[in-house]
Amino acid sequence: MPASPVTTPEFDAPARSSGTDPRLDAIRAKALAGERLSLGDGMTLYETPDIWGVCELADAVRRQLHGDIAYYNINRHLNYTNVCALSCKFCEFYRKQGDEGAYTHDLESIATETRKAIESGATEMHIVGGLSPYLPWSYYPEMMRTIRRISDVAGSELNIKAFTAVEIVHLAKIAKKYKKPDRQAGIRWVLQELKEAGLGSLPGGGAEVFDDRVHDETHKSKIRSDEWLDVHLIAHELGLNTNATILYGHIDQRRERLVHMEILRRAQDRALARLGYEGDPSAFREPGIPATEDIDTSPITLTREGVEQPTPAMSARGGYFQTIIPLPFFPDGSELEHLYGPSGLENLRTLAIARLVLYNFPHVKAFWIMQTLAMAQHMLQCGADDIDGTVVWYDITKLGGTTTHQETTVLDLQRAIREAGFEPVERDTLYRRVERDGESWRVR
């Protein structure tokens, strides 16, 4: 595709102090009362020049949920292959087999990485990769069993958080279980097999922006939103907690991001209803949102004061979305390199709006690996309560250069959180507090 001419994007100048836009008063009252915001409210939050008013409001809601606590974890990311059958336009990660830089890790090297992770005290392995046409189905459950065996021998409760929804669908295809008319049966089979082999939770990647126009223009061969939701809803039914993402700032419009959030919150209503939460049938329902009739239930809020937050113990009844992770698009190295990508202020605003709109998601993550630890500090003050973990290797995007070594220390994470005005709390994947005694750890 020929690159579009580069033009300077137009920005609304933000107000320098909060409290300057009276349109935010009604939204503030609704948000603090835990009432559902409309798409129109979301557009006002995007369009107001009073960005600091939006951030302050998100911070107030975040404090209703988490007080002055902010979470981090000790984790290791593992990208088992960058060989991918697809070629999404916004992706700088994938390679074709035989390309310079293409790699696939065998189970021996995954075992080595697992031992290193456990030795470093990690409580989580975060594993994602490309859709390799060259790896057999058996590689994936064997990967889970390998990690689980090493972890069990070491007496570790390491959580294997692995495979985005698009990978799960790919696995159902290579296992020859993804067949019409009941493709959901194939997804269920794969998730059950992986769970039995040791899978502990699902990350939230691959959601992009739930919109057919965006899908067809940027990642046409990838699964659509209905299949992404199928994977997560079935994972929840099987008692697996998952996360959700939104990859914004490429060809998407702000309204499309808000529709994406609306669809996510409806899917979360359904998960929380299974855990025993009662919805409010009289709550406002946004009309005209596509493709959710079969999952709709009464809206449930977690941001209202006094509402009990979902706990890992509840997962005996089913899983739920733990965290929304807004991910800004990075143009460098992708087919959409001619685009600008979102500005720092747009990133803060989108994160704050995610906190306000997704009032049934317990957590909002500032993913420092993509945005720097310095930016994550600002995000903690604009609605985020989590800054992810120590990481070490991350191949999906390469901040400020070509290296994939992106490691930070626990002390750096704790300092970043304290400087932002919060008390750092180490969590495991399921947001249980981690207690350490020398080299061993346990959750409570």
Residues that bind ligand SF4 in the complex, under the rule CB under 6 A: 84, 86-88, 91, 93-94, 130-131, 166, 219, 222
| Shortest Å, Cβ 228 to ligand SF4 | 12
Residue nearer to ligand SF4 on the CB measure, 38 or 132: 132
Structure tokens at 383: 């609605």
The CB-of-395 to ligand SF4 minimum distance in angstroms stands at 10
CA dist 307 and 299 (Å) reads 14
> What is the helix (H) or strand (E) element at residue 416, kind and residue range?
helix 410-419
Rounded least distance, CB 425 to ligand SF4, Å: 32
The gap from C-alpha 217 to its chain's centroid, in whole angstroms, comes to 22
Q: How far is the CB of 131 from ligand SF4 (least distance, A)?
A: 5
Is residue 395 within 8 A of residue 82, CB to CB? The reply is yes
Contact between 297 and 270 under an 8 Å Cβ cutoff? The reply is yes
Q: Is 290 or 333 the residue whose CB approaches ligand SF4 more closely?
A: 333
Q: Kindly tell me which of 72 and 93 has the beta carbon lying closer to ligand SF4.
A: 93
User: CB–CB of 82/56 below 8 Å?
Assistant: no
Nearest Cα neighbor of 264 from 320, 330, 219 is 320
Nearer to ligand SF4, 91 or 366 (CB): 91
C-beta of 90: minimal distance to ligand SF4 in Å?
7
**Exposure b/e, 87-120, CB count within 10 A at least 16 = b:** ebbbbbbbeeeeeeebebbeeeebbebbeebbee
SS3 call for 380: helix
Please list the helix, strand and coil fractions of the chain in percent, rounded to the nearest 5, in that order: 40, 15, 45
**Taking each helix axis from N to C terminus, what angle separates 373-380 and 344-357, rounded to the nearest 10 degrees?**
40
HSE-up of 22 (CA within 13 Å, CB side)? 0
- Residue 86 CB, shortest distance to ligand SF4, in Å, is 4
Q: Give the span between the Cα atoms of 286 and 272, in whole angstroms.
A: 19
CB nearer to ligand SF4: give 40 or 133.
133
CB of 135 to ligand SF4, least distance (A): 13
**Cβ 209 to ligand SF4 shortest distance, Å:** 13
Q: Residue 359 or residue 394: which is nearer to ligand SF4 going by CB?
A: 394
Q: Which two tokens stand for residue 190?
A: 């794969």
Between 81 and 151, CB nearer to ligand SF4? 81
**Choice between 170 and 355, CB closer to ligand SF4:** 170
In the complex, least distance from residue 84 CB atom to ligand SF4, rounded to whole angstroms: 3
Report the greatest alpha carbon distance in the chain. 60
C-beta closer to ligand SF4: residue 132 or 268? 132
Burial 402-428 (b: 16+ CB within 10 A, else e): eebebebebeebbebbeebebebbbbb
CA distance 345 to 11: 10
Tokens, residue 342: 């979102």
**Torsion 207-209-215-218 (CA) sign:** negative
The minimum distance between CB 89 and ligand SF4, in angstroms, equals 9
Write down the least CB distance from residue 327 to ligand SF4, Å: 11
Which is nearer to ligand SF4, 53 or 129 (by Cβ)? 129
- How far, in whole angstroms, is CA 382 from its chain's centroid? 17
Closest to ligand SF4 by CB, 52 vs 210, is 210
